[in-house]
């Protein structure tokens, strides 16, 4: 470890804590030493992380020469591995972090970075790519692009459905700042058109399988579903603030949340991060930790339904995830349960040898800092039977119950959890080189940096963890309005309409400086039963159509919403409910009241089309009839 920094107090938390005993004077002394070590690391690493992160953003970043304006380069590494691309996921997570910091501390420089990102994403949405076209939204799920905003045509795990909701979340953070500071028109005219496309995609494709955030496993990803739910709820709230609506957001979000519950494995007390694929893994994955911290909303406390960081499910999952790494990395040898260790993506990982990731350690710490923030805010800590094993690792004599802030146990728990969280930061500090650079991974045997150098996501993950440790948290995303699981869950997918933001509108006015209080009172969250357009009818097409692998089904008809008899503009149905005994294809299409004729077509893998037999089907659609009411209709058809 000769390359490691002598500036940091290496190993203090891990070694000292392993020697101490909970509750002893020595343990308290060691905790204080650990805290000073982490304080020192954060103080020294923060300016380095900010500098290196901004270096990786075009056009003027010191390591981003050749990247287009606003493009977040994953890493300057161009070989072994080649990360000289921009991933929608990584870029959006980085920009969300930047926007959160900007909202707390105005910076014209950061504002310029956010503006450039918004403009670049407006352009990127329309770039033709192998995942599909923009006309039906499919191309929005393309995971990565060249740094000059051209398509990447090589083989890859596509589609990846977390990009659109994450990009919407990132841009919504800035749009909300604009609204809060009196610039509603700018938010609505410049930023909302880009957000709207990503929300439309999320409402339409959330229930389709795709590749997980590690780009390896096809199926359904917990991180993607949790991010999709947040984006739809937050999108509905923002739309109301902008005097418009996102009916698809309100309609679909509860069913996304319902599906999110199916990832929980009660027998193991943890999330199975990938279902409908990836069955060779245990499911204990940083995917779930990242989902918890990136859907953190301090206003809903320790809500388990939305998997908040301090929820009993969140803490039980944290323990299961961390423990899965204790025995597989040499650098974790001798560290007992309840003490922080190096963690990676998932225990079965073999990428570059399957090593710990810096961002995973920072995420493990951040979840616990989030929990501490909420416990302090609520002045109590509740330990359930599910979360008890997590707490007993830290305080062996602890029992279930609710501990108010007036009790000595409350402070003992805070101290223990803070020391544990700091331990994950300290592990990363041990294996951070002298110059403060953060690669993607560090070797499981030696701790030496491995894989891509100067990973942008690593720097961003450090900065957000440091912010949360300091008690600086994001404002929330209206989770209080989106935490109820419906009595009946369904696969509602609403076909979207997509319109590129024009270059004339994706430019920001000058002098968008802070003016707190100019935004006025927040708009009420939209009701599921209230629709601004009483003449719009949500039509759910359920068609039983037997198909072969590679075939798809579309609905085409006389109205513009179903293609005006042009198969090229027809609406594709989803096969998410398809089964051998019930070949169901479904989609919900927003349509205008009136009479429409339609048919189903079967599209073969080579693009050839088979129409169902005559006559045309006919559908009469009635408006809601009352201002603010919602109209809906379901049709059940069988292929003729």
Q: Which residues contact 470 (CB under 8 A, 6 or more apart)?
A: none
How many whole angstroms separate alpha carbon 463 and alpha carbon 476? 18
Nearest to 588 by CA among 235, 168, 206: 206
To the nearest 10°, report the CA torsion of 236, 515, 94, 238.
0
Tell me how far apart the alpha carbons of residues 547 and 551 are, in angstroms, rounded to a whole number. 6
* Tokens standing for residue 291: 């989902």
Q: Which of 208, 215, 245, 348 is catalytic?
A: 215
The residues near 553 (Cβ < 8 Å, ≥ 6 apart) are 543, 545, 547, 572, 573, 575, 585, 600, 601, 602, 603
Name the residue with tokens 């990360």: 83
- Residue 81: asked if its preceding bond is cis (omega within 30°), the reply is yes
Is residue 212 part of the annotated active site? The answer reads: yes
| Rounded CA Rg of the chain | 25
Is 639 labelled as part of a ligand binding site? no
HEC profile of 330-368: HHHCCCCCCCCCCCCCECCCCHHHCCCEHHHHHHHHHHH
What is the CA 133 to chain-centroid distance, rounded? 23
Angle, CA of 607, 611 and 615, to the nearest 5°: 165
Given 45, 212, 415, 440, the catalytic residue = 212
Give dist(CA 40, CA 33) in Å, integer. 11
HSE-up of residue 69 (Cα within 13 Å, Cβ side): 10
279 is catalytic: no
Answer for the pair 366, 376: CB distance below 8 angstroms, yes or no.
Answer: no
CB atoms within 10 A of CB 502: 10
Active-site residues, by number, are 212, 215
Binding site residues, as ranges? 156
Please state the residue numbers annotated as binding site for substrate.
156
């Amino acid at each position: 470890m000769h390359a490691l920094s002598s500036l940091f107090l290496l190993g203090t938390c891990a070694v000292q804590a392993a020697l101490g005993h909970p509750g002893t004077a020595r343990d308290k002394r060691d905790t204080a030493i650990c805290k000073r070590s982490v304080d020192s690391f954060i103080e020294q690493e923060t300016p380095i992380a900010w500098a290196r992160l901004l270096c990786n953003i075009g056009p003027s970043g010191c390591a981003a020469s050749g990247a287009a304006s606003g493009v977040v380069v994953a890493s300057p590494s161009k070989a072994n591995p080649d990360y000289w691309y921009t991933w929608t996921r990584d870029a959006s997570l980085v920009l969300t972090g930047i926007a959160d910091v900007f909202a707390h501390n105005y910076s014209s420089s950061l504002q310029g970075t956010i503006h450039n990102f918004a403009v670049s994403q407006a352009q990127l949405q329309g770039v033709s790519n192998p995942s599909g076209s923009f006309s039906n939204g499919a191309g929005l799920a393309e995971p990565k692009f060249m740094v000059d905003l051209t398509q990447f045509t090589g083989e890859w795990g596509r589609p990846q459905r977390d990009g659109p909701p994450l990009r919407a979340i990132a841009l919504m953070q800035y749009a909300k700042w604009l609204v809060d500071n009196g610039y509603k028109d700018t938010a609505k005219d410049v930023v909302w058109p880009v957000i709207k496309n990503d929300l439309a995609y999320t409402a339409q494709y959330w229930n389709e399988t795709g590749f997980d955030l590690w780009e390896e496993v096809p199926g359904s990803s917990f991180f993607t579903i949790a991010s999709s739910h947040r984006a739809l709820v937050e999108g509905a709230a923002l739309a109301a603030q902008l005097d418009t609506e996102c009916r698809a957001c309100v309609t679909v979000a509860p069913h996304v949340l319902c599906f999110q519950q199916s990832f929980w494995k009660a027998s193991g007390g943890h999330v199975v991060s990938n279902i409908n694929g990836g069955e060779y893994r245990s499911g204990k994955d940083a995917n779930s930790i990242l989902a918890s911290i990136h859907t953190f909303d301090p206003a809903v406390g320790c809500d388990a339904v939305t998997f908040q960081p301090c929820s009993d499910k969140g803490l039980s999952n944290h323990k299961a995830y961390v423990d899965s790494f204790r025995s597989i990395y040499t650098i974790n040898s001798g560290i007992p349960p309840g003490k922080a260790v190096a963690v990676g993506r998932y225990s079965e990982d073999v990428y570059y040898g399957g090593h710990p990731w810096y961002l995973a350690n920072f995420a493990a710490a951040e979840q616990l800092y989030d929990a501490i923030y909420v416990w302090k805010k609520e002045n109590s800590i509740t330990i359930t039977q599910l979360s008890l094993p997590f707490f007993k690792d830290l305080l062996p004599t602890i029992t279930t119950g609710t501990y108010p802030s007036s009790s000595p146990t409350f402070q003992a728990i805070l101290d223990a959890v803070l020391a544990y969280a700091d331990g994950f930061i300290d592990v990363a500090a041990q294996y951070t080189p002298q110059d403060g650079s953060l690669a993607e991974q560090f070797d499981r045997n030696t701790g030496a940096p491995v894989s891509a150098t100067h990973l942008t996501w690593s720097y961003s993950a450090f900065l957000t963890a440091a912010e949360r440790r300091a008690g600086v948290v994001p404002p929330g995303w209206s989770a209080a309005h989106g935490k109820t699981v419906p009595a009946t869950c369904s696969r509602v997918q609403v076909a979207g309409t997509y319109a590129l933001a024009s270059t004339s509108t994706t430019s920001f006015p000058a002098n968008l400086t802070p003016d707190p209080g100019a935004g006025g009172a927040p708009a009420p969250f939209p009701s599921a039963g209230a629709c601004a357009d009483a003449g719009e009818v949500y039509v759910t097409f359920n068609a039983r159509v037997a198909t072969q692998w590679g075939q798809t089904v579309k609905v085409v008809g006389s109205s513009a919403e179903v293609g005006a008899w042009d198969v090229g503009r027809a609406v594709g149905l989803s096969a998410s409910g398809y089964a051998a005994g019930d070949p169901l294809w479904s989609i919900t299409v927003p349509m205008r009241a009136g009479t429409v004729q339609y048919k189903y077509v079967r599209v073969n893998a080579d693009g050839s089309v088979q129409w169902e037999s005559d006559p045309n089907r006919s559908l009469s659609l009635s408006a809601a009839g009352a201002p603010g009411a919602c109209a809906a209709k379901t049709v059940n058809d069988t292929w003729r």
